[in-house]
Structure 1
Amino acid sequence: MAGLRQAAKRGPRKSAAPGPGEQPGRPIQDEPTSAQQPVDPRAGGGPGRRPAGAFVVLLTAAVVLAGGLVGFLAYDLLQQRAAEEAREKALAAAEMHTPVLLSYDYRHLDQDLAKAQAVLTGDFKEKYAETFTKVVKPTATQYRAVVVGNVAAAGVIRAEPDEAQVLMFVNQQATNSQLKAPRLDLSRVRMTLKKTGAGWLVSNIEAL
C-alpha cells in the first residue's frame, strides 16, 4: 500500500523527450503492416480482376462459333436451292424425255433409237440400245407396230443437286397388225435422271 501511495504522489510518468523532427506531445502511431495496407484493385493480382487474355479467348471463341453457324446456314440454304432447282429441271426433263423413250414406229426405228440414245446416259444407254435392237425392232417390224407414249402425270420422288427420281404415269397408244383397233395401255414407271454437261439425262427406267 505504501508503494502505491508513493507512485500516486509522483504523478504520471513523463514521456521521453522528443527526437529531432518529432512534434512534442504527439502520440507515436504504429506503422501499418502489409496485411493492413489497402489493396488497389487496379494493381495486378488484386481480387476481382479478370485477366485480359481470358476475355480475348472468349471473344475469339464467340466470333468463331458465330462464323461457323453463319457458314453452316449459308451452305444449307445453297443445298436447299440446288435441290429445288434439281427438282424443277429433272421433272421437266423427265416429261420431255418420256415420249421419246416410250414411243417408236416400225417405219423409222433407227431414227427412233438415235433420238432415245441422245437423252440417255451411263450403263442404261447401252442396255436400252441392246433391248431395242434385239426385242423391239424385230417385233415392231414384223407386226408393223406403232406406239405413242404421252405423260399423264408426273411427280418427283426425290431430288438432289446431281440426281433425281421421278414417278411417271404414261398412256401408250399402240397399233399393230394384230389389233382391230388402237389399244391404250396405262403404264407407271420410275425414272432416274442425272445431271450432266448436256443437261438432265435418263440413267434408268423401271416399270412399276
Structure 2
Amino acid sequence: MKLYIKGDFKKKITFGYEELAHKMWTERINGKELSISHSGNDETLQEENLISLYHNKWLNDNRWSNSDIVALHSFLKMENISLEFELARVSDYRETGEYLRIASSHKDILTVDKRAFYIMAIEVATALDGIISEDDRVTWIRVDEFKERHADVLLLSFEEAHEMGLKEVFNIECVKDPIWAELKKQRAEYIKIHGERIWEDEKCW
C-alpha cells in the first residue's frame, strides 16, 4: 500500500514518533505499554518528515507466537509503515521532491495495520494542512474525504482490528509492495548519474 501527501512543508509536525504510534495502534495492550520498533526518531519526524514504525505483535500478544502462525513464516506480523519524501530514498536523502509518501512493506496488509496506515496519513496530512492521493498523484482528496472513504476501517477499535488480524494472517498472501523494487531501481539509476553520497562522517577519512 502507498499514498502521497501534498502539504505546506513550511509547517512542522509537532508530535513525536511514540505519540504517533499510539494513535496508529494503541497506547497499551494487555495491561502493558505497546512495544514498537522504529527507524528514525522525534527529530527526523519533526525536521525531515521521516519515520518508519511497526508494532511488535509477538511481544504485545503471545498469540502471535502460536505455532500455527509461526509456521506460516509470514512477515505480515512485522508490517513496517514508512513516511518519507518521495525522492529521499532514491537520492540517499539528498533530494526531497514535491510530496511525502507513506508506504507499507506489503501490498495487502492486515486490518490492524491498514487502520494504522490510514491514521498515520490523517495525522500527518492534518499537521501539514495537506491533501492525500491514493492513485499515484492523479487525484487528490481532503482529509475529511479520506476519513469518509475509509470509515469502515477507521471506525474499528484497535482491539477489533487486532482480533481480525489474528485470523487474516492465515488468508492474506505475504507479497512485498512493488514500490520497494521500483525505488531500488530508481536509486540505482540515480547513483549512476550522481554517484554515491559521501556522508559527513566519511569526509575525514
| TM-score normalised according to structure 1 size | 0.23
User: In proportion to residue count, which structure has more strand?
Assistant: 1
Structure of higher CA gyration radius: 1
**Larger RCO, structures 1/2 (Cα 8 Å, 6+ apart):** 2
